[in-house]
Amino acid sequence: MATVTLHGNEAHTNGELPAVGSVAPDFRLVDGKLNDISLGDYDGKKKLLNIVPSLDTPTCAISTKKFNDYAKGRDDVVMLVVSADLPFAQGRFCGAEGIDNVVPLSMMRSRNFAKDYGVLITGGPLGGITARAVVVLDKNNHVVYTQLVPEIADEPDYEAALAAL
């Protein structure tokens, strides 16, 4: 279990992020066409998982835009933004913001992703959504970088995450 805050109010996660050097847990998430997507769908590419509570918040929107800008012209990398938002809401957000280099994925059908990655908030008003985190994987799905952002309202360390790619 890890502790994060939102404007100074504590929230607890169900566990810890996967350890650097470990193989990332597989997942089943939902894309904008309501398809089940797994980690294997991105075999052979480096992956950055931008895990956010909801794209309908300023910090989540900013981080998604910044990672989208970085991904332009990078065929060797896939940027995934994972949230509890419905795929339809994710699609509206990405369309309105001109985001087309980030793949939005939803936990609509299950919270297993959040549980397996140790980011599921377990109680209080944010219970059931994720803490803010970044996980970077190499092309073989080994974890090369993680950050659990201590204050949910803060942005992640972009430089460190992008350097890990």
- Of 11, 24, 51, 60, the catalytic one is 60
- Structural contact between residues 135 and 146, judged by C-beta atoms closer than 8 angstroms: yes
- 94 among known catalytic residues: no
DSSP letters of 70-113? HHTT-TTEEEEEEESS-HHHHHHHHHHHT--SEEEEE-TT-SHH
Strand pairing class (143-148; 133-137): antiparallel
DSSP letters of 18-64? PPTTSBPPP--EE-TTS-EE-GGGGTTSEEEEEE-S-TTSHHHHHHH
What are the catalytic residues? 60
